[in-house]
Amino acid sequence: MITPTGFREYDARWKYPDDINLPGITALGLGLGTQMYRRGIEPVIAVGNDYRDYSLSIKNALMLGLMQAGIQVRDIGPALSPMAYFAQFHLDAPAVAMVTASHNPNGWTGVKMGFERPLTHGPDEMSELRDIVLNGEGVARPGGGYEFVHGVREAYLDDLVGDFRMTRPLKVVCATGNGTASAFAPELFRRMGVEVVESHNRLDYTFPHYNPNPEAMEMLHDMAASVKASGADLALGFDGDGDRCGVVDDEGEEIFADKVGVIMARDLARLYPGSTFVADVKSTGLFASDPELIKHGVTADYWKTGHSHMKRRVKELGALAGFEKSGHYFLAEPIGRGYDCGMRVAVEICKLMDRNPDKSMSDLRRALPQTWATPTMSPYAADTEKYAILDRIVGKLTTLPELAGRKVAQVVTVNGARVILDNGAWGLVRASSNTPNLVVVCESPDSEAELRQIFAELDAVIRSEPGVGDYDQTF
């Protein structure tokens, strides 16, 4: 049993066992192995799983299908998604499959996969895989095998920290929401000489406090409370599979990840002037307008949201880094390897703090030009309807002469519609690639009042579609 909508733009996600069962997962493995042979990929794959209670069963079913397809499986055990990506390099494996539902709530499962490191499947690869699986084109071949590989976790942590040690005292709230990052992040900080304030760092796949997602205000509020209670210098929080990082500063201010990206970009631009940075369409306009970045000759490129889209764009442009509002950051050579790794981001933020010993995180936040922005808000839209709904909304938005009393300067339609006003304010509507939702974000460089007006008028257009339901959060 496999529901077709589980094959998404850049990974696979299903409700389990409602939308896919274990034989369906095995068929997915057979299809993925068949795809490797079709594309001439050496038949070796690194496979990991997150800590959810059903992920091991899913991984075993997936590996069975891969072995049936004639693939040599290298099982790295429980892992973060970026540890699986690291394993591709560490083990010189041409392919990767990571069993995870990422930040989706319990009851979801999925697979993030890729062939050409550090890239992961994009729309072309996903539609090819979907056709192989749903049309029963998977081919069984001899030569499959299994090996459990020990020591990848330790090699991953060694690679992240290297010989770096803090030279200033730094006290960090480490928030993992009881997810898989609980088995990695506290040790990572201690290896760097960071004082750790533990926050929900016990592995517990029931997620008793909140679903680990550093884009959700619930998690950010909890991180802020921990900072205030402990007097920490900042809080760093990680999602369910550890490929994203969220930040709260020393004053308990929740800094949205795109603004943290600008803080990091400023620091990196001083070290690597003339760099190109890619930002997703949900991100702040500051990547293009910030005077500090302009001073260091930075080129800003706004691109499609989604970890596979962003990884590909960073590689294509030879960019130094890519930043997503969701907290996926893609740090390329010489900093990282180009894949999204929340642990790498945490290390680089600690290094940034070490390079600015006289500054707090709130100082770095206040140094940015002020803008007012919404959190990422997701109104319900069924997977089978959301793209058609979005097309109609985009059609309406592209004909708007003005929004919130301002002239529309440009509508960027690379991923949904980002309506940009004559003062640089903007509002975005796109379809979520992972869940049955639309995604809405707005920003104003002028005032909160303008921000609220942009959202109200944008929401009125969205509400003209009867298939759109309630928001998951508002502001």
Scored b (16 or more CB within 10 A) or e, 434-470 reads: bbbbbbbbbbbbbeeebbbbbbebbbebbeebeebee
Token pair 């490191």: residue: 117
Phi, psi of 430, deg, nearest 5: -145, 175
Q: Tokens 């009851």 — which residue?
A: 107
Peptide bond into 401 cis (omega under 30): no
C-alpha 270, offset from chain centre: 26
Catalytic residue among 102, 308, 378, 433: 102
> DSSP states of 164-196 as a string?
---SS--EEEEE-TTSGGGGTHHHHHHHTTPEE
Cis peptide before 142 (omega within 30 of 0): no
CA–CA distance, 471 with 468 (Å, rounded to integer): 9
Question: Hey, what amino acid is at 356?
Answer: N
β pairing state of 406-412 and 95-99: unpaired
CA distance 43 to 66: 9
What is the token pair recorded at 84?
A: 């699986």
Question: What letter would DSSP give residue 369?
Answer: P
Question: Is 283 designated active site?
Answer: no
Say how many CA atoms lie within 13 Å of 281 toward its Cβ.
Answer: 23
| Tokens of residue 85, six digits | 């990506």
Cis peptide upstream of residue 334 (ω within 30 degrees of 0) = yes
Quick one: tokens of 238? 């990680």
Would you tell me the crossing angle of helices 342-355 and 81-90 to the nearest 10 degrees?
A: 90
With H, G, I as helix, E, B as strand and everything else as coil, classify residue 431.
Answer: strand
Helix axes 342-355, 152-161, angle to 10 degrees: 30
Sign of CA dihedral 9, 12, 15, 18: positive
Catalytic residues: 102
